[in-house]
Amino acid sequence: MRIVLLGAPGSGKGTQATILTKTLNVPHISTGVLLRQAVQDQTELGQQAEAIMNRGELVPDDLMLALIKERLSQDDAKPGFILDGYPRNLSQAEALDGVLAELNAPVEHALLIHVDVDHIVDRLAKRAELENRSDDTPEVIRKRMQVYEEKTAPVTGYYQQQNKLTQVDGLGDIEEINARISAALGH
């Protein structure tokens, strides 16, 4: 199954993908995780991305496309994937369709996890205490939300036009939300 998870920062994409990867037996591909690893390893990509991520802005599309293309071409992604954090703007959505057309493996489902802003701020403030992620400061969270509204939210329309979009309520217990997602996927 080939799935794109959409939703604001803190909506639970990573949390739900961690469960889905086991039940669907396809890899969870998170561009945020891949980028944080690159930063930690201080690769060329990591060095280019670090300051941008710390400001809550988007890493340039060409760097992201190279990263995702390489990851999707790996063998474990052949049976499918759960994409978390990509695409993040319309140009990335179009680029992804291009890459997947070459692989003859189009996106099947785009799932939007909806959570209101108050709950998101609450969740990210809690995560900041636990995980110390450098972009979970109040100022950078505000910036990430703004970038989401301006650039990422329109991506939902892109998948709606393709009749691939389902919105899921992202409030409640993690298991409850997972059940909603599984039902939406018919799984």
Q: Is 59 in the site for ligand AP5 (CB under 6 A)?
A: yes
Q: Are 44 and 151 in contact (CB under 8 A)?
A: no
Piece of 48-56, 71-79, 96-104, 161-169 that binds ligand AP5 (CB under 6 A): 48-56
Cis link prior to 87 (omega < 30° from 0)?
yes
Torsion over CA: 123, 128, 134, 139 (sign): positive
CB atoms within 10 A of CB 30: 21
Q: How many angstroms separate the CA atoms of 173 and 137, rounded?
A: 25
Q: Is 27 in the site for ligand AP5 (CB under 6 A)?
A: no
Structure tokens at 18: 């961690």
| Number of residues lying near ligand AP5 (CB under 6 A) | 29
Spot the catalytic one: 127, 143, 151, 164.
127
Taking CB under 6 A as the criterion, the residue among 4, 6, 9, 81 binding ligand AP5 is 9
Nearer to ligand AP5, 17 or 26 (CB): 17
Nearer to ligand AP5, 14 or 80 (CB): 14
Strands of the 165-169 sheet, one edge to the other? 28-30, 81-84, 2-6, 109-114, 165-169
CB atoms within 10 A of CB 24: 19
Q: Is 58 in the site for ligand AP5 (CB under 6 A)?
A: yes
Q: Which of residues 144-173 bind ligand AP5 (CB under 6 A)?
A: 144
Q: How many angstroms separate the CA atoms of 122 and 124, rounded?
A: 6
Residue ranges binding ligand AP5 (CB under 6 A): 7, 9-15, 31-32, 35, 52-53, 56-59, 64, 85-86, 88, 92, 123, 126-127, 135, 144, 174, 177
- Point out the residues that are catalytic: 13, 88, 127, 133, 144
